[in-house]
Amino acid sequence: MTTHEARELPVYLNGRFLKQTLSGVQRFATEISAGLVRQGVISEIVVPPSGKEGGGREGGRFGNVRIRTFGVGGGHLWEQAVLPWATSGGLLVNLGNTAPLLARRQIVVIHDCGWASVPEAYSARFRTIYRVMQAGLVARGVRIVTVSEFARGEIMHHLGAREEQVSVIPEGGDHVRAVPADATVLAMNDLVPGRYVLVVGNLVAHKNLRVLAKLGEALAARGLVLAIVGARRDGIFQQQGGEDMPRVARYLGRVSDGALRALYEHAACFVFPSRYEGFGLPAVEAMACACPVVASDIPVLREVCGEAALFADPFSQDAFVRQVMRILDEDGLAGRLRDAGAGRLLRYNWAQASAAMAGIIAAAWHAVPTPVHRPSSMEPSR
């Protein structure tokens, strides 16, 4: 392939995320896609005909870039069997952990290796699909992108990726300030500004909400509230593992982006107890809203939050109580954390992230996939 031919390659975007419910991975895909479209990088977005509608996020987000529905079906089967044919003439960009094994020229963003590091959080079927797919992509020499140095190490360790095969780009938190704050969420849930501590998470095992049980009780003793966004309010204690979730807490369920911004802005602090993350987007969202952070003392959150958070042992309920009480009681501490958070945000914004991704795409135009050859007694001599 000549340099001229490489430059003429169309860049296709795997739009499967547009048919999925919005969570951290889909947030990343949405914001990076918008940035790539603004830079004129994406030629066409290819989506499956079936799947969840993704909250209408297709409309108006991608300017004049065509969104093409192609083939039949959806999910992994569509991605593996249909998408390679739809994008065979160009470079395919995949932003959501998965990609077709048969695509010749492509880039895939792998956010973490949670299926290997916290297997109890995922079904056996999920773990098998991700292990086989991601290991296959690495073995085929596909360019891998991830979102932290910690996640890069995980990909090299669990998937056998070469150091030069994996690039790191940042995430951003500025999306949370792109919509007006909707403070009606406070009145609807009987929350008083400055009199509640915010958590964003769900009942997946590694999100570790159970470690906050004692914090909920300690806050209640002071007349404050532990408010949890994401976990369902109704029937929560009937779900598997739900019996030791914080009972003295207010479960708000899923909220809009505007409501989430208001919750961050009016909270006394934000608590992030997760045992495993590839990046830790909610902590950066909190910083973007000038909300002090208490985070689990795990490597990736040390990397992302730095001096802008207090850290607590993810296995100690008392540690989270102590750190939250420090923010409530120590003069000037909350302000210092807010200032440090503003400094961290200089490196975590979607414009920088999408520009870094555009640079990786430009380099990939000229690259030819190089499979990783694993020694085998059956391999013919050359």
How do residues 49-78 score in pLDDT, each as one tens digit? 876 644 444 443 467 898 999 989 889 999
| Span 35-50, pLDDT tens digits | 999 999 999 999 998 7
Q: Under DSSP, is residue 47 helix (H, G, I), strand (E, B) or coil?
A: strand
Give the mean pLDDT of 314-328. Answer: 98
pLDDT at site 299: 98
Cβ atoms of 252 and 227 closer than 8 Å: yes
| Span 195-230, pLDDT tens digits | 999 999 887 888 999 999 999 999 999 999 999 998
- Enter the pTM of the model: 0.87
Q: Which residue has the higher pLDDT, 266 or 73?
A: 266
Structure confidence at residue 234 as a pLDDT band (50, 70, 90): very low
Cβ atoms of 271 and 246 closer than 8 Å: no
Any idea how long the chain is? Answer: 382
- CA 52 vs CA 55, 357, 359: distances in Å: 8, 26, 31
pLDDT at site 203: 79
Query: What domains appear along the chain, each with residue ranges and CATH number?
Result: 3-172+349-364 (3.40.50.2000), 174-344 (3.40.50.2000)
